[in-house]
Amino acid sequence: MPSIRILLKLNSNQSVAAPHLLPQTIDPRAQILSCAKSKFRIKATRIFLPGGEELLTPGAVQEVIRLCRERNTVGPTFLLSAGEPYVGALRPPSPAQAENRACEVHIIAGDSYIDPKAIAQLEAAAKLPGMVRAVGLPDLHPGGKFPIGAAFVSERYIYPSLVGSDIGCGMTLYLTGLTRKKLEDQNGIRRVAESLRGLETVWRTTKERFAWLGDCAAGDEWDKLVGTIGGGNHFAEFQILEQVEEGHGLCSGVVVLLIHSGSRTFGKHILETFTKNDKSVALADGDHKTVEYLKQHAQACDWASKSRDLIALRIFECIEGSRWVLPSAITPNVAKELHARLKVRRVLDILHNSVTQTLWPPHTQTHHQKPVFIHRKGAAPALQGTSFLPLPGSRGTPTLLIKPLFSEHNQNGFKNGLSLAHGAGRVMSRNEARSLSRKYNNDVKVLTEMKPMEMRNGGKGKVVTSGYVVCDEKELVWEEAVEAYKDVEVVARDLEKCGAARVIGKCIPKVTYKVRNEMLS
């Protein structure tokens, strides 16, 4: 292949330019970097294209050159940097470039069923400008435009739709004052379930809600929902820790409370604000819109975490009575004291709908890493130092405790995108799941007053415990049925096979709270 004429520019001062005839070479990137000393008297370490796309590998440079040859256009322009970030306004590649540069798609699913629609959605996301890696976890299933149960790594751009509408949705695990004995028979289980009242109503006054939320208060249109669980797959669940490895600060036999909830309608408002005209909108790093999105994103994440704390407080008021007698008014100081008390009970608090900046890739030396954004849509962050994460199944099936692993097997977290499954993942759509009502002769008690039983749907799991589900919305009972979800044990096994995680414990559900017919007022 003949030489090609290129134009080299200083990234720090793009009015300084020099033409260069680049010969055919195995490593054109190294050749271009070596020109910097003679052309500009700098030691270049980074190469950018106009618009800010960084070329990190010889293959990336060769791809740019190939496209110029194919289209018979003027030779490409390369901007040389001595290590400083790109100077100038960032812009996404053209749609044609994006189509040609789809990033690697990796799906972790040896035995877990993956809906072809979810795979197509994952592949579509991989073609978004700036995308570096798209990972489908074993709980992957279709979403509206993009799938759930996935992690998306991008450079230079943030995609609000890859976080979704429930920004900050996550799970918090608390220790409780209940004893195992109270949940070992059906009468005790029902007594606990019946005590869970008043969780659907607006909590206290506008002023007191503001005191609770502090800096993350969003306005009473949204704040009136703080401390409420919400619909869909959200829940609060009392579980008995059946088994756990030593060294994780827990012991078997304790009763814990797992809460899964998010930012309610506040997160949806943020998403709609930034994607009103384009569901796939890309926000460039450093742009004022991006800065504002990240500010509101952080606010929603904090709001969601404090809402889960308030849900826990309201539940503790129901079941622990005298230990949680609250004053007549919640002032900022009282709220601070309550937050401190709840922190003592809190074992972990994780987000699985968020975007965070980190260095990438995790399996290379620090000086070869670059800052990227990891979008998680129904994916738990798997970070160094994390003791364990909850992996809940569906109602009546266990919540597994999984420890993130970092080894050569998973390339120090690269293969799984520094993320793990956030649950079992749906295997039936909500519409499909509603048809289960015919299977059970429309008798919701089969799924709310649970008894151990083998699944009657191709052996995809089983109810492992006697328990009780508080759910006054009949359709939601069917939508959240055991058969509507994958087998959480299989999901965990797929994570173990790829070296991403290890199961270190198991919790057995006893009382699950979904919704009561108590209207918000």
| Residues carrying an active site annotation | 422
Find the radius of gyration of the CA atoms of the chain. Answer: 26
Whole-angstrom distance, CA of residue 512 vs CA of residue 322: 23
Residue 406 known to bind ligand: no
Chain-centre distance for alpha carbon 456: 31
What does DSSP assign to residue 434?
H
- Per the structure block, which two tokens stand in for 103? 């990033």
Give dist(CA 351, CA 172) in Å, integer: 9
Tell whether 423 is in a known binding site: yes
Is residue 297 marked as binding? no
Long-range contacts of the stretch 447-452 (C-beta < 8 A, 24+): 447/395, 447/396, 447/477, 447/478, 447/481, 447/482, 448/477, 449/186, 450/395, 450/396
Burial class (CB in 10 A: 0-12, 13-18, 19+), 198: exposed
Instruction: Please tell me the distance from the alpha carbon of residue 56 to that of residue 182, in angstroms, as a whole number.
Output: 59
**Bond before 361 cis per omega within 30 degrees:** yes
> What is the torsional sign of CA 337, 180, 236, 256?
positive
> 108 near 382, Cβ under 8 Å?
no
233 known member of a binding site: yes
**Residue 247 counted as an annotated binding residue:** no
Q: With the C-alpha atoms ordered 394, 396, 401, 406, is the resulting torsion angle positive or negative?
A: negative
Cα–Cα distance, 441 to 28 (Å, whole number): 68
Question: Is 425 marked as binding a ligand?
Answer: yes
296 neighbors 163 (Cβ within 8 angstroms): no
3-state SS, residue 422: coil
Does 424 show up as a binding residue in the annotation?
yes
How far is Cα 475 from Cα 425, in angstroms, rounded to an integer?
Answer: 19
State yes or no: 422 annotated in a binding site: yes
154 in helix, strand or coil? strand
72 annotated as a binding-site residue: no
Residue 367 assigned to a binding site: no
Q: What are phi and psi of 61, to 5 degrees?
A: -65, -45
> How far apart, in whole angstroms, are the C-alpha atoms of residue 351 and residue 193?
27
Integer angstrom CA distances of residue 416 from 137, 376, 383, 430, 468: 7, 12, 11, 27, 35
Q: Between helices 332-345 and 288-320, what is the axis angle to 10°?
A: 80
Residue numbers belonging to the annotated binding site for Mn(2+): 166, 234, 260, 352
Residue numbers belonging to the annotated binding site: 166, 233-237, 260, 352-353, 422-425
Residue numbers belonging to the annotated binding site for GMP: 233-237, 352-353, 422-425
